[in-house]
Structure 1
């Protein structure tokens, strides 16, 4: 792996970890809202979190390719 690919992977990895942490926090808040009766809001948040999951998978794959 060349230095540029290493630097890119090293930069993307903490960004991915931040995205995963934000996703987890949003899910916790969404569950809290759901338990207080706002099921529609919870469903909307969960749909948005699905997009974060898809993007996290793509970022993870890109990091793996850079490190190969």
Structure 2
């Protein structure tokens, strides 16, 4: 399992089990960088909404975002 999902990068240690499993699946599909960063229209690397929800402990927001990706 990718270490970043469990630790500070996605606050995985605090996530409910189902959210954790979904994040792990996403990580295997697009990688930690793909889940946590994107390039905006100005060419700048910025944090994803998914990452911001995870940092805030907004697990409902994480789930909603995962289902819209």
Instruction: Provide TM-score, normalisation by structure 2.
Output: 0.31
- Structure with the greater alpha carbon radius of gyration: 1
More strand by share: 2
Q: Greater RCO between the two (CA within 8 Å, min separation 6)?
A: 1
More helix by share: 1
